[in-house]
Structure 1
Amino acid sequence: MTASTNPVGIIGGTGLTSLSDLEIVGEETVSTRWGEPSDKLVHGRLGDQAVVFLARHGNPHRIPPHQVNYRANLQALYDAGVRTVVGVNAVGGIHKAMGPAHVVVPDQVIDYTWGRASTFFEGELEHVTHIDFTYPYDQEGRQLLIDAARGLKLDFSDFGVYAATQGPRLETAAEIRRLERDGCDLVGMTGMPEAVLAAELGMRYVCLALVVNWAAGKSDHIITMEEIDQAIDQGMAGVKTVLERSMAGLGQLSPRSS
């Protein structure tokens, strides 16, 4: 790793519309060729590391997963100098070890979304571009998150296949059984196309997930917002601390070439 002057991007999802320990140095309303991002860019510092924070669903939380302008979000961060991004996601737990308030650093993703603008490579193109997406999450960045979580002795998993579903409704029990047969450990609605768009821009991207409920059919009761809010209250402090502990290392990752 070589020292980088680039800020680290943090995209916050449900339960993370702001960072209390973020020293804010400025806010910026921007527009991109793909339209406007979900919210203003919040420039600040976590410890000694410059960061740019973006609320994925806006602040207050108002944009549903299928209507997030993922292209504008990633483009806005890229234009702000970000080359490493941490996507924070609230998810449902499918794997037996991944119950509410459990923190996960996923290593793979399966995309079940549809109809979303999921690539920068369309329209009037000079040539077709196919990017490698074998490993959707940056391996060095993942290790930094894992090391931080281990140092904190958090209840966490260093693996997980993230199933990205369309939303905004939650899944049926039969759909969750299908995802489990497919090898999925987690289910969420915002993991894609965020990860692939970052890859298309040549950005390092990692996911830091917080399980906020058992997926449909994985408990003896229906999913309630009360349950989700309780898990966020229990687990989000750990997520924020992992971010803080890993931020310096993430900032030292050398940018990938696009």
Structure 2
Amino acid sequence: MKRIAIIGGTGVYSPDIFKNSKEIEVSTPYGNVTLLESQHSEAIVYFLERHGKNHKLPPHKVNYLANIYALKLLNVERVLATAAVGSLSEKLSPGTFIILDQFIDFTKNRPSTFFDGSNGVVHIDMTEPYCPELRNILIQSCKSLKINFNEKGTYVCTEGPRFETPAEIKMFKILGADVVGMTNFPEVVLAREANLCYATVAMVTNYAAGISKSILTHKEVMDNMASMTENIKKLFLTAIEGIPYARNCNCKNATLELGSLK
């Protein structure tokens, strides 16, 4: 069977996405990880709450290494992730889905690699940070469901947990970012180091500072995310059905010439 994981971010805490799920715990060298396990469309599907139960972990405290390592131990091959984001453009309004194709890292203090020396030195290629095969499946699924979305976008990841200043947003726009968030890095890099296929659906919940005509609040993010929950459920269920058994991308060979995650 296919083994697929969903990493749910802010506002996407939906055990009801899959019926008859059971809770499991996976022990990793970086800590224990709790997930929900279920089945859908000839696939074993794991649901991982990125921020933990009841949103108890801020972005800079999420144990990204343990989360991805746990998926590797479960023999997961594909990962579909969500990310609540602020828009840097009035053209990307709240409610829009974006199938990310690039990222910019502006985090500061996060462990961001499995290869810190103890597992060897690896310089992973990130020319295509997000799996092209998974991205295409998500794009086609959005089209079939008639969801309002953009086929690509650049995500800038900040350290958090504070929101960004208007000056920072202006800088990020100059650098080419389309949306801003606090969680996609190092998750996307760790997935590649683990040879997993990984793609993210960014969900625009608000305009960023300086773009928005009002101050930013977490309540606004949560309220707008709630309005998109049904569409993200439909999107992921449709995408899971469209994912082939065999991987036809190079994600599985990302560390082939460099060494592998132990």
Report the TM range for the smaller structure's normalisation. over 0.9
Matched, 1:201 2:211: no
Distance 2:19 2:43 in 1: 10
Within a 5 Å distance, the mapping from 1:167-178 to structure 2 comes to 167-178=160-171
Aligned to 1:90, the other structure's residue is in SS state strand
User: Which residue does the alignment assign to 1:117?
Assistant: 111
Give the conservation status (yes or no) of the 8 Å contact 2:89–2:211.
no
Aligned-pair distance for 1:170? 0.6
User: Which residue does the alignment assign to 1:160?
Assistant: 153
Aligned-pair distance for 1:253? 4.3
User: Which residue does the alignment assign to 2:72?
Assistant: 78
User: Which residue does the alignment assign to 2:258?
Assistant: none
Distance 1:240 1:19 in 2: 11
Distance 1:109 1:221 in 2: 26
Deviation string 1:124-171 (CA, Å, 9 cap, x unpaired) is: 34x421111111000010010011111111111111000011000110
Instruction: Tell me which of 128, 133, 142 is aligned to 1:135.
Output: 128
Which residue identity is paired with 2:6? I
User: Which residue does the alignment assign to 2:60?
Assistant: 66
Matched, 1:17 2:13: yes
User: Which residue does the alignment assign to 2:176?
Assistant: 183
Distance 1:12 1:21 in 2: 11
Aligned to 2:243, the other structure's residue is in SS state helix
User: Which residue does the alignment assign to 2:24?
Assistant: 28
Question: Number of residue pairs matched?
Answer: 251
Tell which deviates more after alignment, 139-148 or 231-240. Answer: 231-240
Deviation string 1:7-47 (CA, Å, 9 cap, x unpaired) is: 1011101011224231234221122012223xx11110234
Q: Give runs of ≥4 in structure 1 deviating > 6 Å.
A: none
Give the conservation status (yes or no) of the 8 Å contact 1:8–1:251.
no
The alignment-based identity, stated in percent, is 39
Matched, 1:95 2:89: yes
Distance 1:24 1:175 in 2: 45
Matched, 1:144 2:137: yes
Aligned to 2:27, the other structure's residue is in SS state coil
Deviation string 1:201-237 (CA, Å, 9 cap, x unpaired) is: 1110000111111111112111123422331122121
Unmatched segments (≥5 aa) in structure 1: none
Aligned-pair distance for 1:115? 1.1
Distance 2:172 2:17 in 1: 36
Distance 1:194 1:225 in 2: 22
CA RMSD of aligned residues (A): 1.5
Aligned-pair distance for 1:251? 5.2
TM-score by length of 1: 0.92
Matched, 1:46 2:40: yes
Deviation string 1:45-70 (CA, Å, 9 cap, x unpaired) is: 23443201100000111001001110
TM-score by length of 2: 0.91
Which residue identity is paired with 1:78? K
Aligned to 1:193, the other structure's residue is in SS state helix
User: Which residue does the alignment assign to 1:250?
Assistant: 243
Distance 2:192 2:163 in 1: 27
Distance 1:25 1:251 in 2: 23
Unmatched segments (≥5 aa) in structure 2: 256-262
Aligned-pair distance for 1:186? 0.6
User: Which residue does the alignment assign to 1:108?
Assistant: 102
- The alpha-carbon distance between structure 1 residues 30 and 138, as it changes in their structure 2 partners (threshold 3 A), is same
